[in-house]
Structure 1
Amino acid sequence: MSPFSSWVQLLSLLPLLLLPTALLLLPAARRLPPANPSAAASSPALPTLFPHGSTLKRPERNKLEEELSRARSAIRRAGASSPASRRNFSGVFPLPRVYRNPAAFYRSYVEMERRFKVYVYEEGEPPLVHEGPCKNIYTTEGRFIAEMEALPLAAAAASAAGGVRTADPRRAHAFFLPFSVAQLVRYVYRPLSYDHAPIRRFVSDYVAVVAAKHPFWNRSAGADHFMLSCHDWGPHASRAHPSLYGSAIRALCNANTSEGFRPRKDVSIPEINLVTGELPPMPPPPPPQSPNSTSTSSRPLLAFFAGGLHGPIRPILLHHWKNRDPDLAVYEYLPAGAGDYFSYMRRSRFCLCPSGYEVASPRVVEAIYSGCIPAIISEGYVLPFSDVLRWEEFSVTVAVADLPRLKEALAAVPKEEVRRLRAGVRAVRRHFVLNHPPERFDAFYMILHSVWLRRLNIKVTEF
Structure 2
Amino acid sequence: MLDNFRIFVYSSDKTVNLKSPVESLFHASLMNSPFVTRDPDGADLFFVPLDSDLSTRSTSHVVRDLRTELPYWNRTLGADHFYISCSGIGYESDRNLVELKKNSVQISCFPAPEDKFIPHKDITLPPFITYGLVEPQAPVNNSAKYLGFAKHGALKIPEMVVELIKDPDFLIEQEPSNRVTYEERFRSSKFCLFDYEGDVSGIGEAMRVGCVPVVITVRPIQDLPLIDVLQWQEMAVFLGRDKGGVKELKRVLGSVSEDRYEKMRGSGISVGRHFMWNDPPQLMDSFHMVMYQLWLRRHTIRYARRDWV
Note the C-alpha offset of 1:283: 1.5
Which residue does 1:61 correspond to in 2? none
Structure 1 ranges of 4+ moved more than 6 A:
237-240
CA distance in 2: counterparts of 1:427 and 1:350, whole angstroms: 17
Pairing 1:224–2:65 present: no
CA distance, structure 2, for counterparts of residue 451 and residue 341 of structure 1: 33
Counterpart secondary structure, 1:252: strand
Shift, 1:262, TM fit? 1.9
- Counterpart of 1:274 (choices 125, 130, 149) is 130
SS in 2 for 1:175: strand
Q: In structure 2, do the counterparts of structure 1 residues 204 and 361 end up closer, same or farther at CA, with 3 Å as the change threshold?
A: farther
Q: Distance in 1 between matches of 2:91 and 2:56?
A: 5
Q: Which residues in structure 2 correspond to 1:257-296 (within 5 Å)?
A: 258-275=114-131, 282-287=132-137, 294-295=141-142
TM-score norm. by structure 2 comes to 0.84
Cα–Cα, structure 1 residues 326 and 236, in superposed 2: closer, same or farther, change >3 Å? Answer: farther
1:453 pairs with one of 276, 296, 300: 296
1:307 to 152, 167, 171: 152
> Which residue does 1:348 correspond to in 2?
189
Question: Which amino acid is the alignment partner of residue 222 of structure 1?
Answer: G
Match of 1:326 among 153, 168, 177: 168
In structure 2, the partner of 1:121 is 10
Deviation per residue, 1:112-140 (Å, 9 max, x gap): 23432111111231152xxx45xxxx332
Change in CA separation of 1:331 and 1:460 when aligned onto 2, cut-off 3 Å: same
Q: Secondary structure at the residue paired with 1:353?
A: strand
One-letter amino acid of the structure 1 residue matched with residue 105 of structure 2: I
- Residue 150 of structure 1 aligns with an amino acid whose one-letter code is N
Structure 2 stretches lacking a partner, 5+ long: none
Deviations 1:30-50 (A, max 9, x none): xxxxxxxxxxxxxxxxxxxxx
CA distance in 2, matches of 1:239, 1:143: 32
Aligned counterpart, 1:384:
225
Using CA pairs under 8 Å that are at least 6 residues apart, name the structure with larger relative contact order, 1 or 2: 1
- Is the partner of 1:460 in helix, strand or coil? coil
Q: Which runs of 5+ in 1 are unaligned?
A: 1-111, 153-163, 185-197, 276-281
- Structure 1-normalised TM-score? 0.58
Determine the C-alpha separation between the residues in 2 that align with 1:349 and 1:421. Answer: 11
Q: What are the Cα deviations for residues 177-211 of structure 1, in whole angstroms up to 9, with x where unaligned?
A: 22242xx3xxxxxxxxxxxxx63233223323333
Which amino acid is the alignment partner of residue 118 of structure 2?
A: R
Residues 148 and 193, structure 2, Cα contact 8 Å, conserved in 1 = yes
Give the match for residue 37 of structure 2.
166
Give the 3 Å change call, closer, same or farther, for CA 325–288 of structure 1 in structure 2: closer
SS class of match (2:82): strand
- Find the counterpart in structure 1 of residue 23 from structure 2: 141
% identity of equivalent residues: 28
Task: Give runs of aligned pairs for residues 19-98 of structure 1, distance below 5 A.
Answer: none
Q: How many residues align?
A: 298
Name the structure 1 match of 2:259.
416
**1:389, CA displacement in angstroms?**
1.0
Larger radius of gyration: 1
